[in-house]
Amino acid sequence: MDSSVLILFAHPALEKSRVNRVLIQAVRDLPGVYFNDLYENYPDFQINVAHEQELLRRHSTVILQHPFYWYSGPSILKEWMDLVLEHGFAYGKTGTALHGKTLVNAVTTAGPQDAYHPTGYNHFTMRHLLSPFEQTANLCGMKYLAPFVVHKSLAFHNVGEMMPHVKLYRTIVQKLVEGSLDLERAAKVERLGDALFSETEYS
């Protein structure tokens, strides 16, 4: 098992997206990153389970990158989980293939950060709303990190405005590839970016 990163990207209408198009450009060709575009590879939802499981075996970190639809991922992501995370592979007595690996959500939301708060209109924090993913990681023996989140994703007028998020995302992915991210800390913070600030200044 090398320390490389598998990005499972799920966007049903990337042609209508802006932030995600820029985000994936920034990370998809990084060394040590395998970019897996689910909707592009499986437009008919016929997921190749054996192939997907093999990808999981070969990578130590899995990033689920997707827009935050109805407080969850797009439908193909659920399909992927249902089919690929099989009993005997991902969980259960003999299902140890994912033990010790790391799981991260990288999501974009239209709503602002303060909406994801007990006093905001979404009432729950991002970590709270992502808890099904966190528990999935737990059950599979994976370490679950704080999510990388881009809020107000529809409010960007140009790529320039997106750049801070893009750079942060790229730094995080690079650190995950290098294995230089403090995983203990990354698991505890509210947003993944917070795990970086104390160590590395980023502008």
Partner 1 sequence: MQDNFLFQAFIYLAAATLALPIAKRLGLGSALGYLLAGIAIGPFVFGWVGSADAEVMHFAEFGVVMMLFLIGLELKPSLLWRLRVPILGMGSAQVLLTAAAFCGFGIAFGLNLRPAIALGLILAMSSTAIALQSLQERNWLKQRGGQASFSVLLFQDMAVIPILAILPLLATRRNAEGAAAGHSLLEGLPAWQQTLAVLGAGVAVIVLGRFLARPAFRFIAGSRLREAFTVFALCLVVGIALLMQIVGLSPALGAFLAGVVLAESEYRHELEADIEPFKGLLLGLFFLSVGASVNIPFIASNWGMVLGGAAGVVLVKFLILLGIATVFGRSRRDALLFGFALSQVGEFAFVLIGLAEQLHVLPRDWTRALVAITALSMMATAPLLMLLGWVPHRSANKNVEETVEPDLPEPTERGRVILAGFGRMGNIIGRFLQANQVPVTVLDTDAELIEGVRRVGLKAYYGDASRLDTLRAAGAEKAKEIGEMVKKHFPHLEIMARSKSRTDAYELINAGFDRVYRETLGTSMDMGAEALHLLGFRAYQARRAADAFKKMNEVSVRELAPHWGKQNYFEMLRAKINEAESKMQGHGLIGGAVDRAWDNEALREDQERGELRR
**CA 47, CA 87: separation in Å to the nearest integer?**
17
Neighbours of 121 (CB within 10 A): 10
Q: Which of 1, 29, 31, 44 binds partner 1 (CB under 8 A)?
A: 44
Tokens read off for 154: 């529809």
**CA 135, CA 115: separation in Å to the nearest integer?**
23
Residue with smaller CB distance to partner 1, 43 or 88: 43
152: contact with partner 1 by CB under 8 A: yes
Give me the least distance between CB of 180 and partner 1, in Å please: 34
121: contact with partner 1 by CB under 8 A: yes
Residue with smaller CB distance to partner 1, 29 or 70: 70
105: contact with partner 1 by CB under 8 A: no
Give me the least distance between CB of 76 and partner 1, in Å please: 8
Give me the least distance between CB of 4 and partner 1, in Å please: 25
Stretch that binds partner 1, among 34-42, 55-63, 94-102, 139-147 (CB under 8 A): 34-42
Hunting for tokens 């797009």 — which residue is that? Answer: 74
Stretch that binds partner 1, among 48-56, 77-85, 149-157, 170-178 (CB under 8 A): 149-157
- Residue numbers 70-89 binding partner 1 by CB under 8 A: none
User: Integer distance in angstroms from the first to the last C-alpha of the chain?
Assistant: 33
Give me the least distance between CB of 130 and partner 1, in Å please: 16
Helix (H, G, I), strand (E, B) or coil at 35: strand
Amino acid at 32: G
- Phi, psi values for residue 11, rounded to 5°: -145, 115
**CA 150, CA 148: separation in Å to the nearest integer?**
7
State the helix-helix crossing angle for 19-27 and 159-178, rounded to 10 degrees.
40
| Interaction site with partner 1 (CB under 8 A) | 12-18, 39-41, 43-44, 109-111, 115, 121, 152, 154-155
